[in-house]
Amino acid sequence: MKRVVILASGNGSLAQAIIENAKELDVQILAIISDQPKAFVLERAKAADIATQIVEMKKDRKSWDLDLLALLRMLNPDLVICAGFMRLLSFETVSEFRIINSHPALLPNFPGAHAVRDALAAGVNTTGTTIHWVDAGVDTGEIIAQESVEIESTDSEDSLHERIKIVERRLYVQTLRELLPTLEGSRG
């Protein structure tokens, strides 16, 4: 059984998809960590009897980085799963842990926090979602999996994002199903 930690900042629909498939994925979710104390993902975790931790952003970014790194070291996961976590991770953190993320665009197109808006503004016909390894850049890590989503003429940013999220949840679980067995035993 692989040991994972989920990092999330918001509603937690991606985390919920992983929670619902944890048994089939043969994972133990050690904790859900959020930088937002009122994030709904924490309620989802509590409902599933999963430990939660809050690491609120501080004025001193280095101090926040060190707090998160210390918590991850204590938990010692085989994999860290970013599921809507809206913070960049320090070089030390991405160097020490295996971390994956999902992004609502077909990387390398439209990196950053406004991928759906950027795709619509660019007038492209297709966007999608990407599961990738996290490195020290912004959405620059090696791509693991991608799936396209056609942009409809009636799409707003919200409607397109919701359609991407449906694909993203399925692709994340599918990617974990394929990736987790390939990970060597626990770190450290």
How far is residue 122's CA from residue 127's CA, in Å, rounded to a whole number?
11
For the beta carbon of residue 60, count every other beta carbon within 10 angstroms.
9
Whether 10 and 36 have beta carbons less than 8 Å apart is answered as: yes
Alpha-carbon gap, residue 17 to 181, rounded angstroms: 19
Distance, in Å, from the CA atom of 134 to the CA atom of 33, rounded to the nearest integer, reads 17
Catalytic residue check, 161: no
The catalytic residue among 103, 114, 132, 161 is 103
Is 109:78 a contact under the CB 8 Å cutoff? no
Spatial contact of 52 and 33, defined as CB atoms under 8 Å apart: yes
Strands 99-103 and 126-133: antiparallel
Catalytic machinery residues? 103
